[in-house]
Structures are given as structure tokens and as C-alpha cells.
């Protein structure tokens, strides 16, 4: 199920990012911190009274030049109107209603989107009287809050969740592989979609997705059923996306969350840029199987080591995704396109792989015998047993005498040993350490 999207809009210095961080809590902090991964704090996920949702902090838009403040605020509102199911309009109790607030209010009115008006910086009871002038913006009862003190956040979320739509979407059987294409603008995603769906022996059924966020195209190839999830917004060229390309990431997230396999499309002619890391990082953090697809390979000047050099460059830039295979192709000429789906099938299988507990523990026992855990202040980590608790991605629970003794480097060593035994190619592998209780 695609999550509803909440966008937080408002002029600078009203506390949007503080409220954003309050809503998503420590979710960004608990994501494994791997070298090379790029953080982008404009997008997160939250949960309230059983509803899961995505949150956009529009405050990252910065425009240089004349009237930069007003233009920035306008663009934030445009972005929210296009992307969000519910908009939280943030204002500042201390500053009162400003011209910029009134301009945003006019835009939000015209959008017909559900709006929750949040009045921030109501840090004490004396400030409660300051909220009444905000009734004049026309969005009903304002929600007083203090991002700095964490007050009123629950009331804000209550109001937002009440206005969220229930998103229904096409359900697919387990034998269908859901494939999402992601990548920054101009890497050739649309051309690749057309090349895949136009290829011989592909049976396409034109069923539009039932969410507005993505277009689902079910098709069958060589007896295997797939659904291609193409981000609808990627095909549009709005002012927001032309000005700040990184916001196309938000549309990609909708597709990533629903996919089994993510194709991270890179422009072979231009090479790797920072935005590619942002986009690939979301696939990794969501635990999806992934393949790097280097497109436009037909126009690259090549010699006998070009492919290896480009692969090495990908490995250097994406240190957190060394598990993802690399495919070189041309959507335009369809050169090497036949190599793609055998790899898609393989990584989807690896993503859903389940290893028997006894086999897993044999591998771990051998790894510990070869390289025992180091001691820490005279204490040594003892691994009792390991069991796989989930697939998509494969997730392992490691029972130990004291989780604090599990050093990151030793955890990486165990992961490498497990990968050497079972491959898990194309998929992240999650290891969680837990103290073994006397009852277990």
C-alpha cells in the first residue's frame, strides 16, 4: 500500500524542519550509517494512531536572485500541492500573519487540498491568545504547538490523519515481480520503459495503476509475470523539478516502497553525480533488491577496459551497495537489453531467499572459529545462535551474550561470510543483534 503524503509548507523560520523532525522521530537516525551514503533530510516516514505516511519538508528549496524569499515560498507551495494528500501550513505565533503567509494561503485555497493550519512557537499559555488572528486565513481552527518543546504535535497529527485519504491499489500475487525504475531526470528512464515494453515476446496489459503516484504496467516475459512501476511525476516537467532536480526523488520514493526490484538508472554518457547517490540510497534504506543500469552505453567512447572502469567507479561512489550488480545497455538501440531480465529474476530470487537455521549456524560457527570476536575491556562477544526472521530483504537475528560487544566491523565480517556462502546478490542483508535471555 502506497503511503499517504503529508507536506509541511510555510515561509522560512516558522520551524518547518523542527516539526518535520518531531514527526519522523528518530527514524532517520536508526538507518544503518554506511560509508558513502548521502543523506537528504527532506523526506521521511512517520506513523500515528496506526496510520503510516510519508512526510515532505519543503524548506530545502532555496532560490537565489530577486524576490528570492517569496519565490521560494511559492515553489514550496507548488511542490506540496502537486505531491501531497494533506498539507500542514505552518505559521509563527510570534510573528503573526505576514504577507508571505497570506500569499501561501491563497495558493493553498485554490488547490482544494486538505489543509491543517499549525501555529508554531506557542511556547506557553500566554501565547495562546496569539493564535486567534490566524483564523482570518480561512482554514478553520488553528492547531497551537511548540516544535522546540514538542507540545501539540499529537494534536497536529490527529488533524492531519483525519484528512488523509484511504489509498487503494492493485494487489498482485506473490509470483509477480514488481520492478521500479528510478533515476534523476534525463538518464533515459522513459526510453528504457518503452524499450522493455516494446521488446518481442513481451505481453503487455495496459492497466493503469489505481494510485495517482505511479503507473503500473503488468506484462509477461518468457513465462514470468512482472509489473513495471513507472513514476508518473518523472514524465512531467514542472517548474519545481526544473529548478531543483533533487525533488524528483520524492516521486521515486512512491515507486520504491511498492517494488521488489529497483533499477537504478545512470546516464553512461554523463557519468555519476551526487543526485544518483540520493536516489540509490533510498532504495537501499528501504531494503529493496537493486540493479545499477548504465544506460546510453551506445554513445560512450569505449575501449577494452571501459566497462570495468565504470563498474569500479560505481563501487567507489556507492560503497553502501556493493551487493548490487551492474548492467550496461542502450534503451535507444536495445543493445544488451536481453541481459537485463535474467538479472532481475536472479536478484528477486535472492531478495526472497530463506536459509535454514542449522545451515546458517554452521556458517557462523566456522566464521567465529576462523576469526574469533575481539575482546572489549576483558569481555568477549559470544554468539549463541542465528536465525532468519524475514525475507525481502533477508533479515537475520543474532543472539549474543551482550549486544554492545558486537562491533560494526565484526558485524560486517559476519555479513561478508554469509554472503560468501549464500551470495544474496542484489539484495541488502539486515543483521540485528539481540541478547539471549535465560528463558530462550
Task: Cite the annotated binding site for GTP by residue number.
Answer: 10-17, 57-61, 120-123, 183-190, 230-234, 295-298
Q: What is the DSSP letter of 377?
A: T
Q: How far is the C-alpha of 258 from the C-alpha of 117, rounded, in Å?
A: 31
Measure Cα distances from 270 to 36, 221, 264, 295, 336 in Å: 20, 31, 15, 10, 19
Grid-cell match 493503469, residue found: 208
The three-state secondary structure class of 400 is strand
What pairing do the DSSP bridges indicate for beta strands 224-231 and 5-9? Answer: unpaired
Measure Cα distances from 255 to 65, 112, 143, 179, 182 in Å: 34, 25, 32, 9, 8
Q: Which residues does the annotation place in the binding site?
A: 10-17, 57-61, 120-123, 183-190, 230-234, 295-298
Asked if residue 120 lies in contact with residue 90, where contact means CB atoms within 8 angstroms, the answer is yes
Q: 232 CB contacts (<8 Å, ≥6 apart)?
A: 212, 213, 214, 215, 251
Phi, psi of 251, rounded to the nearest 5 degrees: -65, -40
Omega within 30 of 0 (cis) for the link into 393: yes
Radius of gyration for the chain, computed over Cα atoms and rounded to the nearest angstrom? 24
CB atoms within 10 A of CB 2: 21
**How many alpha carbons fall within 13 Å on the CB side of residue 358?**
0
Grid-cell match 493550519, residue found: 117
Q: What angle do CA 201, 207, 208 make, to 5 degrees?
A: 130
Query: How long is the chain?
Result: 440
Q: What does the DSSP assignment read for 297-330?
A: GGGS---TTHHHHHHHHHHHH-GGGTTS-EEE--
List the beta bridge partners of residue 179.
228, 261
Q: What does the DSSP assignment read for 229-293?
A: EEEGGGG---HHHHH-GGGHHHHHHHHHHH-SEEEEEEETTT---HHHHHHHHHHHHTT-EEEEE
Edge-to-edge strands of the sheet including 115-120?
43-48, 51-57, 5-9, 86-92, 115-120, 143-144
Q: How far is the C-alpha of 97 from the C-alpha of 17, rounded, in Å?
A: 20
Amino acid at each position: 500500500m502506497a503511503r499517504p503524503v503529508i507536506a509541511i509548507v510555510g515561509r522560512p523560520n516558522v520551524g518547518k524542519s523542527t516539526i518535520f523532525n518531531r514527526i519522523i522521530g528518530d527514524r532517520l537516525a536508526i538507518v544503518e550509517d554506511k560509508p558513502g551514503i548521502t543523506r537528504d533530510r527532506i523526506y521521511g516516514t512517520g506513523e500515528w494512531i496506526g496510520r503510516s505516511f510519508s512526510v515532505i519538508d519543503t524548506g530545502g528549496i532555496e532560490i537565489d536572485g530577486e524576490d528570492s524569499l517569496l519565490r521560494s515560498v511559492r515553489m514550496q507551495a507548488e511542490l506540496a500541492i502537486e505531491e501531497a494528500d494533506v498539507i500542514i501550513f505552518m505559521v509563527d505565533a510570534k510573528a503573526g500573519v505576514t504577507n508571505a503567509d497570506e500569499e501561501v494561503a491563497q495558493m493553498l485555497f485554490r488547490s482544494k487540498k486538505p489543509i491543517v493550519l499549525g501555529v508554531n512557537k506557542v511556547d506557553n499559555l500566554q501565547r495562546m491568545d496569539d493564535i486567534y488572528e490566524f483564523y482570518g486565513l480561512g482554514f478553520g481552527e488553528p492547531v497551537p504547538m511548540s516544535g522546540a518543546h514538542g507540545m501539540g504535535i499529537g494534536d497536529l497529527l490527529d488533524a492531519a490523519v483525519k484528512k488523509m485519504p484511504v489509498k487503494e491499489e492493485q494487489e498482485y500475487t506473490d509470483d509477480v515481480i514488481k520492478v521500479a525504475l528510478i533515476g534523476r531526470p534525463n538518464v533515459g528512464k522513459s526510453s528504457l520503459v518503452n524499450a522493455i515494453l516494446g521488446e518481442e515476446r513481451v505481453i503487455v496489459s495496459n492497466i493503469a495503476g489505481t494510485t495517482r503516484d505511479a503507473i503500473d504496467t503488468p506484462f509477461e516475459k518468457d513465462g514470468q509475470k512482472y509489473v513495471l512501476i513507472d513514476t508518473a511525476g518523472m514524465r512531467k516537467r514542472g517548474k519545481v523539478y526544473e529548478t531543483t532536480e533533487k525533488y524528483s526523488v520524492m516521486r521515486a520514493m512512491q515507486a520504491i516502497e511498492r517494488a521488489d526490484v529497483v533499477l537504478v538508472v545512470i546516464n553512461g554518457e554523463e557519468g555519476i553525480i551526487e543526485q544518483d547517490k540520493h536516489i540509490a540510497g533510498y532504495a537501499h534504506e528501504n531494503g529493496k533488491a537493486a540493479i545499477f543500469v548504465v544506460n546510453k552505453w551506445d554513445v560512450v567512447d569505449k575501449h577494452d577496459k571501459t566497462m570495468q572502469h565504470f563498474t569500479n567507479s560505481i563501487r567507489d561512489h556507492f560503497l553502501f551497495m556493493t551487493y548490487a550488480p551492474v548492467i550496461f545497455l542502450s534503451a535507444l538501440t536495445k543493445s544488451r537489453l536481453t541481459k537485463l531480465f535474467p538479472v532481475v529474476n536472479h536478484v528477486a530470487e535472492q531478495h526472497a531467499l530463506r536459509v535454514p537455521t542449522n545451515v546458517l549456524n554452521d556458517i557462523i560457527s566456522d566464521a567465529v572459529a576462523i576469526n574469533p570476536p575481539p575482546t572489549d575491556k576483558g569481555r568477549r562477544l559470544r554468539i549463541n545462535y542465528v536465525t532468519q526472521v524475514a525475507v525481502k530483504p533477508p533479515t537475520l537475528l543474532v543472539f549474543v551474550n551482550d549486544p554492545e560487544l558486537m562491533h560494526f566491523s565484526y558485524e560486517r565480517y559476519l555479513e561478508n561470510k554469509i554472503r560468501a556462502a549464500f551470495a544474496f546478490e542484489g539484495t541488502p542483508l539486515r543483521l540485528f543483534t539481540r541478547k539471549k535471555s535465560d528463558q530462550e
